[in-house]
Amino acid sequence: MSELLLSAKEISKIYRRKGEPPITVLKRVDFDISVNDRIAILGKSGAGKSTLLHILGTLESPSNGSVYFRGKDIFALNEKELSRFRNFEIGFIFQFHYLMLEFTAVENVMMPALLAGESKVKARKTAEHLLERVELKDRLNHKPSQLSGGEQQRVAIARALMMKPKLLLTDEMTGNLDTATGNHIFELIRTLQEEYGVALVSVTHDEVLAATFPRKLRLEEGELFSVSPV
């Protein structure tokens, strides 16, 4: 049996706005992730997939419930501890790359390590290696505006792996790319996931892409269901 990495227990998320009825997005969701897991989360737009992903990555807090990472309640951490945990243990890849436009590709990839206090020399060496792994050896000093959408996404992949996280979270990672580029990006992530020994959880509406994952879940009306193999 695989080692348990993350466990979400009875996660609920309720949004409340003054003068409006509360909106329940997640209802007592239980979710376990093992080391080296590869999981796709499907669901309609607005189903709460991104909200769940943000909670798993500590970008958002649940209204109720707990998230344990290697047995530790991560929402019991203070803000400084939570920020450090997020930087070291979680890698994020979003549909929109969120690269810093004023910095080059290698500088963007270096940023998590620099924030962690690593030397520029060591950070650059690791960043250059990662950019080479994502086939951008000749784009190190290009800024995002000089890169295609697929190239920007590969920079985002390299940045997500910079701190050698244990968990990689992706949100519609190929949503803005054409089919051929999207397939290439996905195959690249799958290769790197195996190489780096990182668990992968991908939110997607792409049924074809999701079919390639060994484990598939579907979020419907705030509840998470396992998708049986066809």
Q: 5-39, pLDDT tens digit by residue?
A: 999 999 999 998 888 888 899 999 998 999 989 99
In the predicted structure, residue 102 carries a pLDDT above the cut 90 = yes
pTM (predicted TM-score) = 0.90
Least confident of 14-18, 165-169, 206-210: 206-210
The CA-based angle 215-227-210, given to 5 degrees, is: 55
| H-run or E-run covering 50 | helix 49-56
Average per-residue pLDDT for the chain:
89
pLDDT surpassing 70 at residue 1: no
Q: What is the dihedral of CA 166, 87, 81, 50, to 10 degrees?
A: -80
Partners of 218 in the β-ladder: 42, 225
Percent of residues, the chain, with pLDDT higher than 70: 97
Query: Domain of 57: which CATH number?
Result: 3.40.50.300
DSSP-derived secondary structure letter, 201: E
pLDDT at residue 80, as a whole number: 92
136 in Cβ contact with 155 (< 8 Å): yes
If one counts the domains in the chain, the total is 1
Count other C-beta atoms under 10 Å from residue 132's C-beta: 13
> What mean pLDDT is predicted for residues 150-161?
92
Per-residue pLDDT band for 229 (boundaries 50, 70, 90) equals low
Residue 105 pLDDT exceeds 90: yes
Q: Sheet with 167-171: list strands edge to edge.
A: 90-94, 167-171, 199-203, 38-42, 215-220, 223-226
Which of 124-138, 141-155, 177-191 has the lowest average pLDDT? Answer: 177-191
| Residue range(s) defining the domain that contains residue 146 | 4-226
Q: Single out the residue of 159, 64, 153, 154 nearest to residue 108, CA to CA.
A: 159
pLDDT at 122: 96
Q: Express each pLDDT in 78-89 by its tens digit.
A: 999 999 999 999
pLDDT of 32 reads 93
User: What would the two tokens of residue 3 be?
Assistant: 């080692």
Q: Specify whether the CB–CB gap between 49 and 218 falls below 8 A.
A: no
Q: How confident is the model at residue 230 (pLDDT cuts 50, 70, 90)?
A: very low
Q: What is the pLDDT of residue 228?
A: 60
Q: What is the pLDDT of residues 42-76, one digit of tens each?
A: 988 778 888 999 999 999 999 999 999 999 999 99
Half-sphere exposure of 6 (CA within 13 A, CB side): 29
